Amino acid sequence: MNTHATIEAPTRELSYAEAIREAMDIALGSDEAVVLMGEDIGVYGGAFQVTGDLVHKYGEDRVIDTPISELGGAGVAVGAALTGLKPIFEFQFSDFAALAMEQIVNQAAKVRYMLGGAVSVPVVMRFPAGSGTGAAAQHSQSIEAWLGHVPGLKVVQPSTPEDVKGMLLAALEDPDPVMIFEHKILYKMKGHVPEGYYTTPIGKAAIRREGKDLSIVATSLMVHKALAAAETLAGEGIDAEVIDLRTVRPMDRETVLNSVRKTGRLVCVYEGVKTLGIGAEISAMVAESDAFDFLDAPIIRLGGAECPIPYNPELEKAAVPQIPDILEAARAIAKGHV
């Protein structure tokens, strides 16, 4: 059951949303302790149609529509985990986690510690996140750094269909609460996904493109923008290494630091607000290690603007890093202009 997928495993193309649904289907079918919870996840199929028709296959006792109360629903999910179930709780939008922070931060994250390890809280929470859909300020945030600040939680940001399936299944094996942030723009993105059961390790970054001139550490949708920028840079003679962080907490120090030691330059790209964001933690991690001595230029952080996400599509794009921003930063750092 714990064997990771290999490249020899049969694969086919699935969308990111289909990969999540397949993972939940496998989990429901193989473990009676697994239940799905969330607003409108039953007959409606979820706000982004990710749950689909699973309610017809497993019934309303396993695919449970919760009332329109994030605090109440999250509390039920945490309580269910304490009784031995393995709930997967879906928020309609990651922004709505603000309504359930009591249960996430003060209960799920702390109960195991407060009871001396006598209990665990194997709850998985799914958060559709990020901008790009014109959903404006209260439905477009990237709040993974909020939850990444909390000891007791694990926070992941899968960027591919293969990883989101494997990380969801890995999360269900974990005794601690796992928060999965799924960028809404990725739901329709297709990619090769191995068949059957496999897990993708939590806490391990992936090198999506090897390079020698600079390291770009990116998260979620920004991984794909970084890869697109890296292709353009390659045509200019700049060889960029792209690291998909995948896990915000616990963060993969080894992969990031080894890359910086190799390239001597670092650009961090993430959609959350720049201040006190993931890039700040990565920068501090480098500064507090011997990798700092390998830097040939200052670290550049590309994060979200200091404002709520606008509704206007052009302003929305301007509020988060785009490919031209990555290109500008990479060119500057590679040519010593910073």
Residue with tokens 């009676």, as numbered in its chain: 32
Structure tokens at 225: 């923008």
Q: Which of 18, 22, 39, 70 is catalytic?
A: 70
How far from the centroid of its chain's Cα atoms is residue 15's Cα? Answer: 16
CB atoms within 10 A of CB 156: 28
Assess whether the previous peptide bond of 313 is cis (omega < 30° from 0).
no
Q: How far is residue 311's CA from residue 222's CA, in Å, rounded to a whole number?
A: 20
Ramachandran quadrant class, 59 (left: phi over 0; alpha: psi -120 to 50; beta: rest) = left
4 as an active site residue: the answer is no
Q: Which of 139, 182, 271, 316 is catalytic?
A: 139
70 as an active site residue: the answer is yes
| Beta-carbon contacts of residue 21 (< 8 Å; ≥ 6 apart) | 50, 51, 52, 54
Structure tokens at 73: 């629903």
Active site residues: 70, 139
